[in-house]
Structure 1
Amino acid sequence: MADISELDAVRRPIERARGLANRHYADPETCRADDAALLLGGWAGLAVASQVPCPGDARPIDFAGVPLLLLRDREGAVRVFQNVCRHRGMILVAEPRRIEGAIRCPYHSWCYATDGRLVATPHVGGPGRNSDRAVDRAGLGLIEVRSHVWRDVVFVDLGGAAPPFGTVHAAAVARWAELDAALHHDGRDFVLEVACDWKLAVENYCESYHLPWVHPGLNAYSRLEDHYPIMGENHAGQGTTVYRQLREGRARMPDFPGLSNRWNTAAEYVAVFPNVLLGVHRDHAFAIVLRPMGHARTAEHVHFFHAAPAPDPGLADRNAAQWRAVFEEDVFVVEGMQRGRAAPGFDGGRFSPAMDGPTHAFHAWVADRLAG
């Protein structure tokens, strides 16, 4: 159970607030309870739709301990199901692959269409009898998980009771509406595995306060004073007013079409709560989906997007490499904060009212949900 008095201290005005207590990062039982409330109790990022580009493509994903199956059905729709057979709970798909016919359970060969329907139950009524009145195929399809795709990120609502995605994240969707069109998956994805609870990765991403010391190269042209905070009901982060496009000679990354002038030099980096980190620029975008890997380990799945036509491959390679270097610079920070949560005298820390507004916004969001 969450300690309400501790959570109330987190939800105070930033000048008097404390951060989340150590156990929300260091105690396995508390972290599991947090994951259930924050990741499984509303809309959370699972993957990107581009990971299943063709009809029949399927990708198993363990999400906070829940076995899920991301797939594109025969009609081209992206869907998410629980990755278990309705017969005896066997895992259906163990590795990413193309489903050529039906999804066949390797245990007793029950088969499902890519829309989740149970289509075959061999010998279920005895040898040679493939039906039984006690086994209602119509009611034993795969359990579908409510899902929504925005900016190619597949969000899921495991509990099934959250308000519509467009209602929950209306402000973030409206903020970046002119950048939604024509996102093309870059294919230069990578994964960083870090030894920390996923919440620390969100906290670090939200703020620009650490730039001068952790990202000196980035800070050399996008200085601390060039950044501004962003805080909404279910998102927080920071932006810069001095973004410069990557160029090599006359070659440059193509712009997204129809942008207003504010994006000539602006870029924004926002955490969409609970676990998706987005970056938007005039010429490319990225999405980082955070997945817990057990206690105090997180996989950061990084995906890049560009406008059409495709950018020069060398420029796109350089862009992805530069961002990877920036994200790798953060690893020692989040892992250091994780180790610091073993200090019994640390009471959650304090916030700089001038610099830590987005980080405190995430802490308060977490506290609200744990208390509620």
Structure 2
Amino acid sequence: MNKHSELSSVLQSVNTANGLPNAHYTDTEMFDLEKRKVLFTNWSGVGFGKDVPKAGDAMPVDFLGMPLLIVRDHEGQIGVFQNTCRHRGMILVDKPKKIGGVVRCPYHSWCYALDGSLRATPHVGGPGQNMHEDVDKSELGLIRIKSHVWRDVIFVNVDGQAAPFEEVHADLLQRWSEFEQPVHHGGDTSSFKLGVKTNWKLAVENYCESYHLPWVHPGLNSYSRLEDHYNIEERDRYSGQGTLVYRQLKGESGEVFPDFDGLSQQWDEGAEYITVYPNVLMGVQRDHAFAIVLEPKACEQTVEHIELYYATAPEASPDLSDLREQNAALWKTVFEEDIFVVEGMQKGRHGDYFDGGRFSPAMDGPTHNFHHWVATQLTKG
């Protein structure tokens, strides 16, 4: 099967293009190919800085079968390593933990510093001999995975060949430059995850567009109508949607969340919702933001990790705790309303005669842009 010829129709303009063929949603071999050529070769989201808040905090992550370890070091920087001992390949950390001194392998007690360097090799030269001339500790540190933290999302480039994050996403960083300021996680009630029986790409495709709002999100559509939205599509970079009628949530006494500092008038009633390719969904509003990391668990299984952030920390505004909880409940409702859609599209991809579908040239530009990007990644080289 010539996969490149199958993708030629995806690479056409939105007016005439078909979507990605069924196999890209239902075939395990294709899932593995996309793991290698889409998710491992680009800057993919794997976690959040808020999960390793202090020096020594460590969190293991299984990213498509790749064992990773996220660690915050003594300088407050986050590093990502392959979670595999350089000795006999033992998993080093199997659950989130606080590391007091070193990362110690539970098998033979080889020990690594928080920067990944190998510090101790007990009895490596025989009983009581902790060194051996042929075991060079300077060459046996943990394998560091290229990583970057933006808006508290931890991105990794597994194959190590991507250009720097700031270069790859320069346009988006400029677009949202006003929001380049600290974000504070809203606390336990601002964190939730949804398991969905769908291929991860369908969650991206649904998030990209506002076309479905009138039918899938009637509550949201009651004040944020289809005509109040605009498409965001930067070819082969990112895509999403914006609204011109963002409405701040108000408490019973009229209280609102503090705004992010120094925002221009555009954001008084504007908000944007963009996919950072391949698997991170982000939203920015004047008074809060969110990030969603899509974790592809299997070809037809995805976990959406959703986190809400604010301009001020919860401890600095305890009087807004009820409002934060209410805000999280509202967003959870919106995201849950999408579940039947992405799961329904997944079921539909098992229709043998489905040809990838067509796009509305007026409404589906952001979704087609994502299809085009995926197809471009797969046909490289």
Fold conserved between structures, TM > 0.5: yes
Residue pairs, 1:1-372, within 5 angstroms: 3-187=3-187, 188-232=190-234, 233-248=236-251, 249-308=253-312, 310=314, 311=317, 312-372=320-380
Task: Find the residue that maps to 2:220 and give its secondary structure.
Answer: helix
Write the letter of the residue equivalent to 2:340: F
Task: Report how far residue 182 of structure 1 moved.
Answer: 2.2
Root mean square deviation, CA, Å: 1.0
Rounded to whole Å, the distance in 1 between the matches of 2:366 and 2:51 is: 30
Unpaired segments ≥5 residues, structure 1: none
**4+ residue stretches of structure 1 with deviation over 4 A?**
none
1:267-308: per-residue Cα shift (whole Å, max 9, x none)?
110001000000100000000001111221111110111012
Task: Report how far residue 2 of structure 1 moved.
Answer: 6.2
Unpaired segments ≥5 residues, structure 2: none
Rounded to whole Å, the distance in 2 between the matches of 1:231 and 1:51 is: 31
> Does the CA contact (< 8 Å) of 1:254 and 1:309 recur in 2?
no
Write the letter of the residue equivalent to 1:236: S
Write the letter of the residue equivalent to 2:27: D
Write the letter of the residue equivalent to 1:192: L
> Does the CA contact (< 8 Å) of 2:25 and 2:199 recur in 1?
yes
Rounded to whole Å, the distance in 1 between the matches of 2:225 and 2:297 is: 34
Task: Find the residue that maps to 1:29 and give its secondary structure.
Answer: helix
- What is the TM-score with the length of structure 2 in the denominator? 0.96
Rounded to whole Å, the distance in 2 between the matches of 1:298 and 1:78 is: 25
Rounded to whole Å, the distance in 1 between the matches of 2:4 and 2:65 is: 26
Write the letter of the residue equivalent to 2:214: P
1:228-266: per-residue Cα shift (whole Å, max 9, x none)?
000114110001000010001221111001000000000
Task: Report how far residue 36 of structure 1 moved.
Answer: 1.3
Rounded to whole Å, the distance in 2 between the matches of 1:298 and 1:125 is: 46
Rounded to whole Å, the distance in 2 between the matches of 1:280 and 1:43 is: 20
Task: Find the residue that maps to 1:204 and give its secondary structure.
Answer: helix
Give me the identity figure in percent: 57
What is the number of equivalent residue pairs in this alignment? 372
1:189-210: per-residue Cα shift (whole Å, max 9, x none)?
1111111110110000000000
Rounded to whole Å, the distance in 2 between the matches of 1:180 and 1:194 is: 31
1:328-370: per-residue Cα shift (whole Å, max 9, x none)?
0001110111111111000100000010000000000000000
> Does the CA contact (< 8 Å) of 1:2 and 1:371 recur in 2?
no
> Does the CA contact (< 8 Å) of 2:267 and 2:286 recur in 1?
yes
1:314-335: per-residue Cα shift (whole Å, max 9, x none)?
1000001100010000011101
